[in-house]
Amino acid sequence: MKRASLARGACLLTLAIGSTGGAVAQSGSVKKINPKNIDTYYNVCRGLSTECFNDWHAFDTLPNKVLIYSRTAGPRHANLGTVMAAGLNPTMNADNVMQAGLVRMLAAAGIAADWTEDVTVLAGRINNYKAVIFASSNRDTLFNATATTSNDAARTALRNYMRRGGGFVGIHNAFGAEYNWPYYEGLLGNANFYNHSPNRNGNVVITAADPSTAGVPSTFAYQDEWYNLMPFPTNVKFLAKVDTTSLSPANAPPHPGHPDFHPVAWCQYYDGGKSWVTTLGHNGHSFNGSGVGAQAFEKLLVQGVMSVIGLTPFCT
């Protein structure tokens, strides 16, 4: 019996180390992870168990501040506006509606924000923030073609950031990024954008009680593209869906859509960190407060950020 117990402990330790790529000390001891929380495809601990969170207090002394990252390496959403200059906090253009809206709504909640579309800033400064927000940053957004040494330093930085307990928030076309990097697909909850129908009205329905959904209307009208997903998210807490009976058209061939359950927001612990994501956020008027359902969307999004950076409990 003792030998069996030791063997099981060794197995758990191996999984714990394999899922985080190195030391997993927590509270002065080695953190053991139940095999059921290991996603062997992405080789990480992920899901709803706090075993998958590395509470190393790495960000305790930081201010409540986030980094908005909106670099696009493919088609650029109109609400992102003109490409920003390099560096940290470049002067915003009048048409950078999404970025400006995020700064505004987060400031109202007492959360400071920096912004950039410079991949070297993300790679070099990510550990200075309690969360990084991928604001429709798409395609190979973390690849630096001009680097003379490591073209994917930002990938390494993001992965290590998550492993030290960092926070990730993905908005809309963040689901159209890093298609060929499996780790990122896992960060999105084992999900990715496949296609969408025209931008149209639909009804968002809150599906779970959570600090991020608290006070959000149980159902609210909204306008978006309603992304179809492939693969479909798994082992996450679904927070909101779109009522597919309110959509016309309901899908975008050849994808059959998600007629039984079409999620639009969810959360999970991932490889030591926290991930809160939503496919919503296509329109500029969702970020300047003038669009249908904009206030409800803003409340949902801001409260999602609050939970990721530790101002409220996460994914409970």
Model confidence pLDDT, tens digit, residues 44-90: 999 999 999 999 999 999 999 999 999 999 899 999 999 999 999 99
Task: Give me the pLDDT at residue 86, please.
Answer: 97
19 pLDDT exceeds 90? Answer: no
Helix boundaries (H) for the chain? 2-20, 97-108, 119-125, 153-163, 182-187, 294-308
Quick one: pLDDT band at residue 151, thresholds 50, 70, 90? confident
Residue type, 172: H
User: Regarding the domain with residue range 65-308, which homologous superfamily does it belong to in the CATH classification?
Assistant: Class I glutamine amidotransferase (GATase) domain (3.40.50.880)
Say what the pTM is: 0.90
Q: Is the peptide bond before 254 cis (omega within 30 degrees of 0)?
A: yes
Helix, strand and coil in the chain, % to nearest 5: 30, 25, 45
pLDDT for 220-279, tens place per residue? 999 999 999 999 999 999 999 999 999 998 889 999 999 999 999 999 999 999 999 999
Any idea where the domains of the chain sit in the sequence? 65-308
Q: Name the band, by pLDDT with cuts 50, 70 and 90, for residue 16.
A: very low
C-alpha distances in Å from residue 199, one per residue of 129, 202, 215, 266: 33, 10, 26, 21
The 10s digit of each residue's pLDDT in 174-205 is 999 999 999 999 999 999 999 999 999 999 99
Please, what is the end-to-end C-alpha distance for the chain in angstroms?
36
